[in-house]
Amino acid sequence: MPVITNFLFLPAPLHYPVPIEMSNTSSTSLRITWGEVPDAYHHGEVTGYRVFLEETEFPDVIVANDTYPLHVNTMDLTVLKKFTSYTVRIRAYSFFGEGPDGVVTTLTDEDSEFYYFNHYMRGILAANNT
């Protein structure tokens, strides 16, 4: 008697995590945060995220290529170049493969007296508003 097996092939996640935010935390560091893939686009269980960072002007040079489990949604990067544009690409993955990239670009700060003065004034304004 023949054995009949049914297979259900689901595609990889059809959307990237939202929102994706990237901000500079100093002249040589960035913080990247991301949300979840919208429920309608999971197509099975999302198991984690792939995060790629590259200099925007040199997209073939990958600065970071990391994989994170589902419960992690923040990445801090240090020892980057000052006043440089970086692009992050984040995609979700599941047992069935990897989804599309969500893309965000930002600049690291430049070291200058204005930079330090600006952060000093932000601190004073924040203290006075509390």
Q: What phi and psi, each to the nearest 5 degrees, are found at residue 58?
A: -130, 70
72 in any annotated domain = yes
70-116 per-position pLDDT tens digit: 999 999 999 999 999 999 999 999 988 999 999 999 999 877 655 55
- Residue-range definition of the domain harbouring residue 31: 18-128
13 in any annotated domain = no
pLDDT, averaged across the chain: 85
pLDDT at 44: 83
The DSSP-derived string for 6-72 is ----PPSPSS--EEEEEEEEETTEEEEEEEE--GGG-SS-EEEEEEEEEETTEEEEEEEEEEEETT-
3 in any annotated domain = no
99 in any annotated domain = yes
Residue 117 belongs to domain with CATH number = 2.60.40.10
62 in any annotated domain = yes
Residue 66 clears pLDDT 90, i.e. is over it: yes
Total structural domains within the chain: 1
pTM as predicted: 0.76
Q: Which residues pair with 93 in a beta bridge?
A: 48, 98
- Greater model confidence, 124 or 93: 93
